Structure 1
């Protein structure tokens, strides 16, 4: 099956990065089941976990980007990251559907080259891959956040080993449903959770997983995550309304992940094959696979990722104003 052509986030004529304008991608040729992430709230802190998850992607034409903007509300404030010191004058904005990051319909991620080492399914090689990919994510998202006067710092990458590890969110068990976690500015990537026996040497799958968790980091920095958890607690975490809010948060991270791959495909070493594999993988993940109610159906999980990949518009990742059906 042909996969949709990914979008580009640069100027429609020159292809140069632009945080205010861009071109839209080709129409989505098909809808697929989506990848599921699992968000766990432990000890009142934010922690996000991703599960493992095929149909083929057709690249869209991502549009230009302007700087953009879970689990429980993050108590800590932005600090200093690998990409540099956080701007102490910038503050998160606690808002959801009306968040300023999500209002400009011309904002997307810039088309940048991203050079990644060859994926090899070993602990050492995986760490090298994820560090290089995080540097690319920093480069893409930092100008978007700063353009909206939002704080920025790179997440701290942690590579735990063994069947469980300790975090600010408590002790986390590693399993097939917990491939990665985001907690309080830290992004955990336990090698045993990546399911390399199943996915093999498919860098696109691992890159999309990282980009999803980084999407939660963007939500955290912007204030979206804290605002979401405030409402989830108000509604009740196990209520229908609370679970829907949780799905909206997860599906937005999916859309952000798609934006990154769609705007970087066939630039640097992010190949079309890697993009296609990531596109297909999204159809195998979601609540239909996990049995939960907090990440969205496989169909919606994939659709939101593919929307981001094809359109590369942050405003179109506004899951908090989307219909209930599209986030079920």
Structure 2
């Protein structure tokens, strides 16, 4: 799951499950204030003797987020992640080994997504990564209980939280693919935040109400797209990490646990698996347009 970029008053953690336990980004009530400070990019004034036309010709457009959904530039033309030579350390389950594994994984994710965002003139900044053994209170509010979340992405400080103890004991255990799937999913929320889709979707959730059918449906569209983005990454690194590990990670999404209809913020296990498979099989951004999908495909 993710944290919103719109104001909320009552913190809520929406639950999602990968493998045997809940996997989520902090829920849609984790932020109590809208990000009110946004830099306004002005145009440089032409120097004396330089016409406005000449200045415009030499001025490169600044990358900026696009707050759209179904018609977002990333989703209207198919873009494939480049093949990435991803070098991961040997997998182990100690805190130090898991931390090293996650840090290397984020580096590979940066390599995969940076050129795609830059090509679309969207901003890119690597996410911060917190691999503390457990979750603590942070910019997105109080740490969720272990029964509610084992990992999450905080949109407020652009940080992926991968607590090593929780993930070892209640998340992926000794399955490297499960840990990689979790990381790639959370990074998918970072892509949504950078591109502007996360803010656009959160605005609709706020308007509809977090726990209304419309609000929950939009939350599912966000979460299922993150699964699809994860699938895109896994196929992009499959040659370097091994097809077996890549497939294991892609298959991990099928083990999601069904949420009750009134709390369904992530989608059914079948739909979670289908969207991850869409990214893994097609490997292009247009295959991840959950915002244009019929309601039954995001249920």
- TM-score (normalised: structure 1): 0.73
Question: Which of 80, 84, 101 does residue 74 from structure 2 map onto?
Answer: 101
Q: In the alignment, which residue of structure 2 is the partner of 1:21? A: none
Residues 106-130 of structure 1, C-alpha deviation per residue, up to 9 Å, x if partnerless?
x111111100001100111111111
Relative CO higher for 1 or 2, CA cutoff 8 Å, sep ≥ 6? Answer: 1
Call closer, same or farther: CA 1:101–1:92 in 2, change over 3 Å: same
Between structure 1 and structure 2, the one with the greater Rg is 2
1:188 corresponds to which residue? 161
Q: Which runs of 5+ in 2 are unaligned?
A: 21-26, 40-59
Distance 1:234 1:217 in 2: 22
Q: CA deviation at 1:93?
A: 0.7
Conserved? CA contact 2:6–2:202, under 8 Å: no
Which residue, out of 70, 91, 112, partners 1:119?
91
Question: 2:116 and 2:255 mapped to 1: Cα distance?
Answer: 30
Shift of 1:49: 7.3
- Corresponding residue of 1:206: 179
Mapping of residues 1-328 of structure 1, within 5 Å: 38-39=1-2, 44=7, 51-53=17-19, 71=28, 75=35, 89-105=62-78, 107-162=79-134, 164-183=135-154, 184=156, 185-196=158-169, 199-267=172-240, 270-288=241-259, 292-328=263-299
Alpha-carbon offset, residue 98 of structure 1: 0.7
Alignment check: 8 A CA contact 2:3 2:153 kept: no
Q: Equivalents in 1 of 2:112, 2:15: separation in Å?
A: 22
TM-aligned CA distance change 1:317 to 1:286, over 3 Å:
farther
| Pair 1:104–1:324, CA change in 2 (3 A) | same
1:71-118, Cα deviation, whole Å (9 max, x unpaired): 46972669xxxxxxxx9921111111011111112x111111100001
Conserved? CA contact 1:260–1:309, under 8 Å: yes
Q: State the partner residue of 1:18.
A: none
Query: Residues 265 and 103 of structure 1: is their aligned pair in 2 closer, same or farther, counting only changes over 3 Å?
Result: same
Separation (CA, whole Å) in 1 of partners of 2:190 and 2:94: 25
SS in 2 for 1:266: helix
Shift of 1:272: 2.2
Q: 1:271 to 1:177 in 2, by over 3 A?
A: farther
Aligned residue-pair number: 264
Q: SS of the residue aligned with 1:230? A: helix
CA RMSD of aligned residues (A): 2.9
Give the structure 1 partner of residue 51 of structure 2.
none
Cα distance in 2 between the residues matched to 1:256 and 1:100: 15
Query: 4+ runs of 1 displaced by more than 3 Å?
Result: 38-52, 70-74, 195-200, 286-292
SS at match of 2:137: strand
**Higher strand proportion:** 1
